[in-house]
Amino acid sequence: MKHENPHHKHSHPHSEPQHAHPSGGHAAHTGHDKHAGHTPEMFRDRFFVSLLLTLPILYFSEHFQDWFGYRAAQFPGSAWVNPVLGTILYFYGGLVFLKGALRELRARTPGMMTLIALGITAAYGYSLAVSLGLPGKPFYWELATLIDVMLLGHWLEMASVQAASRALEELSKLMPTTAHRILGDRIEDIPVSALKEGDLILIRPGEQVPADGVVVEGASTMNEAFLTGESRPVPKEPGDEVIAGAVNGEGALKVRVTRTGEATTLSQILRLVQEAQASRSRFQALADRVAGWLFYIALTLGTLTFLVWLALGRDFNFALSLAVTVVVIACPHALGLAIPLVTVNATALAAKNGILVRNREAFERGREIRFVALDKTGTLTEGRFAVRAVYAHETSEEEALSLAAALEALSEHPLAQAIVEAAEGKGLPRPEVRDFQAVPGKGVEGTLGGKRYRVGRPEWAEELGLKVSEPLKRGLKEAEARGESVVALMDEARVLALLALADRIRPSAKEAIRRLKAMGITPVMITGDAEAVARTVAQELGIERYHARVLPEDKARRVRELKREGPTAFVGDGINDAPALLEADLGIAIGAGTNVAIEAADLVLVESDPLDVVRALTLARATYAKMVQNLFWATGYNAIALPLAAGVAYPWGIVLSPAVGALLMSLSTVAVAVNAMLLRRAALTAL
């Protein structure tokens, strides 16, 4: 997977997972407040230790002995094996849920943690009372299996997606650490932090700009694509502004610093990312809401069961055992696995299809998406130039391309490579060049076959006063109307040919747009590029709505506006896309983009294929459907089990014992697991 921008090379440690924290930030928006300070490893370790403690509990359980017709080994103190192990299990395995329940109750939002805590506390409290002399059968096995299944569920849930927010860290890594300050006739290297407004600095070819400033001397081009979305290298001459983080091209520049530190454009984008992270609303998982309802149902029904049976004249022990059965049965094992099992399957399926899931809620939000906003450069297009047309006059197109490629082969200009590739693709010969010379900000010149040729900006031809024929003028007008970069091939007297270069559209982009529309989703293109470029790309792809010349800080605003019309996904790859990725209901990063975009996204498309956007949204819809089905299977049995456990059918001699309740619970758990596995088949056929 390409996580790198060509100008952005540093390590990207994915190994250290960071998890949600209540204070805000990107991780917090995953709705994982209940997992504050938790790690998948912690749940895994507790699960395996609890599982080991469960085995002797099951062996010594009276229920298990009755069902399987055996008698457990008897020895002095054997009656206390289950109470002791049950107590260890309650505090060791259950502590995480008890603490979570306290947090939920303090926030007055009882959910999964509170429901689990209620179930295990009722089972443990009643079992301990029975061990100490209360008539009845203890629930230690129920306590143990409930803790095991819930630990497994939370481990799967956290391990399936380890959401980490390193966006800000990646942004700060982009900046160079030293700057070359010019003092009179000498140059000194100083830390970027020591730069002050008004300092004169030198930016050498290929270096990153350390601070915002204005060019004082020199000519070059700058790659600002990953900051502004502008696909073309931007020419820089005295008086032009340069942006911190941009990459200098072929010429050395002297720049007067205008903004440093917090005031730079890059720092402002960083602030936008922080704001977007902090303002992101927490999305409460569906299972948590269901658990919240079940908590109230269990509490109410358990209390009612106890009071009604007492009022009907039954003894305290009978009323209490039925009440506890109701509370324990209300906490379904399957509910703890309903969402995690679907998530694990969906995450694995997504990975097989080149979609990395960084936020499990992506599946829940993805099914509602009505608008997909797409960045242009690097997303719908490859961010690499290709020769679209050669306008030649008084020479053939092949000869013009051959001559231009011969000169450009020695140039470092970004457009040069595209011209060389075009000539190589057609198998054209490359004449030998003598007396080659690069003219910064203009182009290159050299002698081929005894004649002097120049390749460079059309403006250079104007400055030299060279003749331009009418067909070439028409070609120039057409290329400029399309927003393309134009390179002129000149001899000593006239312009021989014009080469129009455009950012190459990704092969699958058109099909992706067609399929999004078929799903009832409206594609919207948002780009920092020029109106003419945006219009040309939008027409070719069949996109009706587009916004051009959108500044980095405005992308998030455009996404906000779209969100008012309906749930919106944003697909992007640049640093300038990070605030928009966070602002969107669903952030999708193109894998070949910069690390910061990847860190700000919910989903990452490894192959940089726009069709993967369609696959991701199809998978999201299928996954959400499975989640709803699983919640039905996980809680549906409660509709039958709870009234029976409460003794509604007691007059007819039917009371749901914990044993039968456990059987129903097991069946619903199996149904949930099988249904989650079926997702692989359902979603793959749709993909």
Q: What is the pLDDT of residues 333-344, one digit of tens each?
A: 677 777 777 877
Q: Which residue has the tokens 């993967």?
A: 612
Q: What is the pLDDT of residues 583-616, one digit of tens each?
A: 999 999 886 555 666 677 888 787 778 898 999 9
Residue 446 to residue 435: CA distance in whole angstroms: 5
**Crossing angle of the two packed helices 265-279 and 552-565, in degrees rounded to 10:** 30
Residue 347 to residue 356: CA distance in whole angstroms: 7
Element (H, E) at 644: helix 611-645
Does pLDDT of 153 surpass 60? yes
Q: Which residue has the tokens 């089972």?
A: 123
For position 268, what pLDDT does the model report? Answer: 66
Annotated catalytic residue 375: yes
Sequence-distant (≥ 6) Cβ neighbours of residue 670 within 8 angstroms: none
Residue 522 to residue 372: CA distance in whole angstroms: 6
For position 660, what pLDDT does the model report? Answer: 66
| pLDDT, mean of residues 658-680 | 74
For position 12, what pLDDT does the model report? Answer: 34
Element (H, E) at 518: helix 509-518
Question: pLDDT confidence of 270, banded at 50, 70, 90?
Answer: low
Does pLDDT of 421 surpass 70? yes
Sequence-distant (≥ 6) Cβ neighbours of residue 505 within 8 angstroms: 380, 381, 382, 537, 540, 541
Q: How far apart are the first and last CA of the chain?
A: 21
Whether the CB-CB separation of 27 and 18 falls below 8 Å is answered with: yes
383-504 belongs to CATH 3.40.1110.10:
yes
**Crossing angle of the two packed helices 611-645 and 333-352, in degrees rounded to 10:** 170
Topology of domain 176-209+212-259, CATH: 2.70.150
Whether the CB-CB separation of 231 and 244 falls below 8 Å is answered with: no
For position 32, what pLDDT does the model report? Answer: 41
* Chain centroid to CA 130: 51
Q: What is the pLDDT of residues 529-549, one digit of tens each?
A: 888 888 989 998 999 999 998
Sequence-distant (≥ 6) Cβ neighbours of residue 396 within 8 angstroms: none
Say which of 199, 375, 585, 609 is annotated catalytic: 375
Does pLDDT of 360 surpass 70? no
Q: What is the DSSP string of 24-63?
A: -STGGGGT-GGGTT--HHHHHHHHHHHHHHHHHHHHH-HH
| pLDDT, mean of residues 101-116 | 83
Q: What is the pLDDT of residues 478-530, one digit of tens each?
A: 998 888 889 999 998 899 999 999 888 888 899 999 999 999 999 999 988 88
Residue 293 to residue 480: CA distance in whole angstroms: 62
Residue 209 to residue 262: CA distance in whole angstroms: 15
Q: What is the DSSP string of 320-373?
A: HHHHHHHHHHHS-HHHHHHHHHHHHHHHHHHHHTTEEES-TTHHHHHTT--EEE
Does pLDDT of 241 surpass 80? yes
- Return the structure tokens found at 512: 């992706």
**How many percent of the chain have pLDDT more than 90?**
24
Q: What is the pLDDT of residues 634-655, one digit of tens each?
A: 777 777 778 887 888 778 877 7
User: Which runs of E-coded beta strand occur in 476-538?
Assistant: 485-490, 495-505, 522-526
The dihedral formed by the CA atoms of 665, 666, 667 and 670, expressed in degrees to the nearest 10: 130
408 vs 280, higher pLDDT: 408
Q: Which of the residue ranges 251-265, 404-418, 568-582, 646-660 would you say has the lowest mean pLDDT?
A: 646-660
Q: What is the pLDDT of residues 111-121, one digit of tens each?
A: 778 888 888 88
Question: pLDDT confidence of 27, banded at 50, 70, 90?
Answer: very low
The structure's pTM equals: 0.61
Instruction: Round the average pLDDT of the chain to a whole number and report it.
Output: 80
Q: Which residue has the tokens 């910069």?
A: 594
Residue 147 to residue 232: CA distance in whole angstroms: 58
The CA-based angle 147-151-152, given to 5 degrees, is 120
- Return the structure tokens found at 175: 């900046």
Class of the CATH-defined domain 351-381+506-619? alpha beta
Question: pLDDT confidence of 283, banded at 50, 70, 90?
Answer: very low
CA distances from 510 to 380, 381, 518 (A): 9, 11, 13
Q: Determine the length of the chain.
A: 687
Question: pLDDT confidence of 676, banded at 50, 70, 90?
Answer: confident
- Return the structure tokens found at 513: 């747009």
Burial 101-130 (b: 16+ CB within 10 A, else e): bebbeeeebbbbbbbbbbbbbbbbebbbbb
Pick the closest to residue 580 from 617, 535, 527, 543 (CA basis). Answer: 527
Pick the closest to residue 284 from 220, 339, 209 (CA basis). Answer: 339
Whether the CB-CB separation of 178 and 84 falls below 8 Å is answered with: no
CA distances from 108 to 101, 102, 105 (A): 10, 10, 5
* Residue at 676: amino acid letter: A
CA distances from 4 to 12, 50, 200 (A): 9, 43, 31
For position 388, what pLDDT does the model report? Answer: 87
Whether the CB-CB separation of 389 and 471 falls below 8 Å is answered with: no
Most confidently predicted of 140-154, 313-327, 348-362, 432-446: 432-446
So where are the chain's domains? 33-162+283-350+620-686, 176-209+212-259, 351-381+506-619, 383-504
Residue 545 to residue 524: CA distance in whole angstroms: 5
